[in-house]
A and B are shown apart, each in its own frame.
Chain A
């Protein structure tokens, strides 16, 4: 499995430069019930299609950023820094 990923700070690199950080999962905004908490902690959508996800540039600038990638073809449609509206 091999493709190019563009770090917003450093530019395009082989995917092996990075560590995959998981799909973006919306965090509960207030005290969740047990089911909602378990879903947040242990379940993922795992789509066969375009996924919004985190990446960490471990062999470079060590910044976290987001990407949208088609999990079927590994084609990366977009990557960029998070702006506070995503994730947590």
Chain B
């Protein structure tokens, strides 16, 4: 039963197709021939297809309705990506198009059973009522419902779903959204007055309704003028929403973040369908959709048509179809006295025109074959004796226009119901920086639309201070003319909320298959406000997001509840305006990673690389135990380049540091180093590091790797308010650093430098500057890992050279590079605190067992002094101690220290030390237990550890090895 292909009309002015270029693609595996310029829908229509999808709940056949990307009737999957609107997606050679939710096929869908037999099981809000009992069957119900619901499947392979969208920040004077007649005029006028304008339109090309309704040449001319005037024109480009002054615009592979000082919203109005029995049958099209099919793709939308309208638009569509060669059997106009040139043309062609009448039913098996026209009463019921039955295969309907005011609402504009035109129109008082033009403001005549565009553009320019007095006067005059036009406009008729009750299903919401009967039911059940009703029935929540159904459903509710539509109101408009893949919003994934200048060496040495903040660092080089042993017995080398490094210089440098640290630094002798712990004004530990005085006015401060940025910010914040002569230079990334540690470290170093490295000349906590392997270095003799060690700081560019030289010089001593994990074990053996690991945001220096760092007798006030004075007078609750477990088990970080069954402290670090053959760690314990030999119990996920407290380091407690 292959359908007959539809012959194209003779060439139409403004048609999009290129008849000389065929395009071949497949639909559900079968080949389809289209033409360049076709959309998937127009090509399929040309091949004879009339059923494009199955509805969401009842799986009724659906055909083309709007041909403009507004409704959900033509959703398909293209090359594995679902959710594509066939009526706007251009065809490409080799495309694989598939239908979305029918089984086994689009033309014969088994799930249509839901329509014929499912009524008792699928009332409105059925998921609150049915498929609930017996409860043990729920997994089965869920599986079945999941299989039936939804629109398409995502490809499981993530790679095939990847998007590569670039972000682009665009600051502009004026953003005009919508490039129909009004938008084009607005952009042109604003640009003429000197504004930097961006104009965006969601259509394939700018021009809006002009393109399909005989104005394509004028549209092209306006676009050319706009470009000549310097307007940036983007199409297809959808403005996704209004976010505090930023409008994201999706244009192909770019998400433009447009921040404009002024906005002109010219988004137009959306043609509305009529609600009547059988209004979802294929063959029922919006009058504008039928016009688009014939004008843009040269396809006759049907052979014999009936037109039912409430506006001049519908009459003009009837004339356009007539000119395209479609036989018009009858036209029904709700208005009692329609006028205008279209009426004359219809009369000339002897087409019957029923006045004060509308369609009450469309009938047919899987497509329209007959419509029933009638005059109706206030409730949409056919008046007796006025019914006429007309065979046809196309019913073109025009139920008026609804302004597409979503963007305006998001920007803070209010809407009000305009009884004369039967739709919601934005209130003229708009928020600052927002202007509206064209049909979105409730204007319908071409002349008024274009004038309002010019007014909007001029107003936007003037708000920016552009355009002189002359232009301002013109604007005021234009505004006056516009208000006169508005007053003189002839109103459309308001269609009945629903016609043809009781004959068949009347759909208020096509996307979600919500009939007027279901809305009635939900009102009876008590869901009697628009927001409640929407959530219960799901009307307006489908892919069209209310474009087709918001106004009809409000009108229906108003009728049922005897209320004015203005009282019912609309639901909240929310972004995104149209369907957008999440990948477009996410853009390219960025994962910034910092690597030291030595990174290639670590990779070459087989390091296991881990994340440490946003740095990539070696966890180990394959054998952490051996790396620990190397440092204890011989010598090891670790890359500590991520350490924060700050140069503090100036006459007040010492005094500045005295204010920031609880201990004294101004009395540090040049060439000497002191350990420094920074406290906040609340007396809590913020960071720690070393301070080396280079000369009278120069201090070199190191910080933890993760705290580097925060400490620099902290220092510079205080400098911003204290008037001290201090300069701060952040050299964290300009300098690299390595730590050479172990009993043979001196031997290695001495072989590479002329500096006297004997213990007398270069003692523990000395800082020296010299060349090592030809590289200028600052050498700090400090001991985080507990052995004789030298931390070399040098310009990052020399990293690989120095690393190679050190490893070469260390070869006789079997030197090993070591990573972060061995470093952690080594420092734990010395009970060296890691800020942020063993302390948290509430830890004070007293609690962290370093009371000696707080010099309360310092003359100067220092940050934290007040709080620490308080703290020194209070007894500690918990304090930081070392521990070793008796059975050698290693509890995890975070395990609780338990007393009498209640948590009283916690473990912050724990490792097994092969040097000591013991499991050791650090924990916060109640102060009364903070003595050597106290026994504590640690509980980790149900397992209990018995441990002994130690307040002294496990390895070399006197520090003799450090000082050797």
List chain A positions with a Cβ less than 8 A from chain B: 1-4, 14, 19, 21, 27-28, 31-32, 34, 37, 40-42, 54, 56, 58, 62-65, 74, 81-82, 84, 86-88
CB closest chain-B residue, reference A27:
B681
Residues of A within 8 A of B866 (CB): 28, 31-32, 37
Chain A nearest Cβ from B460, distance in angstroms: 18
In the bound assembly, the distance between CA atoms of A9 and B667 in angstroms comes to 36
Asked whether B121 is an interface residue with its Cβ less than 8 Å from the other chain, the reply is no
Contact with A along B242-261 (1 / 0, CB 8 A): 01111000000000000100
Given contacts A2-B244, A37-B867, A41-B867, contact A87 B720 (CB under 8 A): yes
Chain A at the B interface: SS class: loop
**Residues on B with beta carbons closer than 8 Å to the beta carbon of A56:** 713, 717
**B316 CB, nearest partner CB in chain A, Å:** 43
How many angstroms from the CA of A60 to the CA of B109 in the assembled complex?
60
Do A88 and B721 form a contact, CB below 8 Å, given A34-B870, A62-B716? Answer: yes
Q: Which residue of B lies closest to A54 (CB)?
A: B717
| Cβ contacts under 8 Å, A37 to chain B | 866-867, 870
* B682-A84 in contact (CB<8A): no
Q: Whole-angstrom distance from the CB of B95 to the nearest CB of chain A?
A: 38
Encode contact with A along B840-880: 1 for CB under 8 Å, 0 otherwise: 00000000000000000000000000110110000000000
A21's contact among B712, B717, B722, B723, by CB below 8 Å, is which? B717
Distance in angstroms from B324 CB to nearest chain A CB is 48
The smallest C-beta distance from B168 to any residue of chain A, in angstroms, reads 13
Sample 7 A-B pairs with CB under 8 A, ordered by A number: A2-B246, A2-B259, A14-B169, A27-B681, A41-B682, A56-B713, A84-B723
CA distance A1 to B869 in the complex (A): 41
A31 to B856, CA, bound (A): 13
Report how far A41 CA is from B867 CA in the complex, Å: 10
Chain A to chain B: the 3 pairs with minimum beta-carbon distance, closest first: A64-B720, A88-B721, A87-B721
Which of B713, B723, B869 is most buried by chain A, counting CB atoms within 10 A of its CB? B713
Q: Which residues of B contact A32 (CB under 8 A)?
A: 866
Number of A-B contacts defined by CB within 8 Å = 57
Which residue of chain B is the closest to A1 with respect to CB atoms? B244
Task: Judge if B718 is at the interface, Cβ distance under 8 Å.
Answer: yes
* A2 and B243 contacting across the interface, CB-CB below 8 Å: yes
Which among B681, B720, B723 is the interface contact of A41 at CB below 8 angstroms? B681
Closest residue of chain A to B246 (Cβ to Cβ) is A2
Q: Is the CB of B867 within 8 A of A2?
A: no
- The answer to whether residues A86 and B716 also contact, given A1-B244, A32-B866, A37-B867 and a CB cut-off of 8 A, is no
Report whether A63 and B716 are in contact in the complex, using a CB–CB cutoff of 8 Å.
yes
Chain A residues whose C-beta falls within 8 Å of the C-beta of B717 in the assembled complex: 21, 54, 56, 64
Tell me the smallest distance from the CB of B150 to a CB of chain A, in Å.
34
Q: Which partner residue on chain A sits nearest B717 by CB separation? A: A64
Chain B residues closer than 8 Å to A74, beta-carbon distance: 244
Closest to B723 in A: A84
Which of chain A's residues have a CB closer than 8 A to the CB of B723?
84
Q: How far is the CB of A80 from chain B (nearest CB, A)?
A: 11
Write the chain B residue with the least CB distance to A24: B721
> Given A62-B716, A63-B716, are A84 and B721 neighbors across the interface (CB < 8 Å)?
yes
* Complex CA–CA separation, A40 to B718 (angstroms): 16
Query: In whole angstroms, what is the CA distance A14 to B730 when docked?
Result: 25
Residue among A4, A82, A88 with most chain B CB within 10 A: A88
What chain B residues lie within 8 Å of A40 (beta carbons)?
681
In Å, the complex CA distance between A54 and B714 comes to: 12
**Quick one: which of B864-920 are within 8 Å of A by CB?**
866-867, 869-870
Q: Tell me how far the C-beta of A16 lies from the nearest C-beta in chain B, rounded to whole angstroms.
A: 10
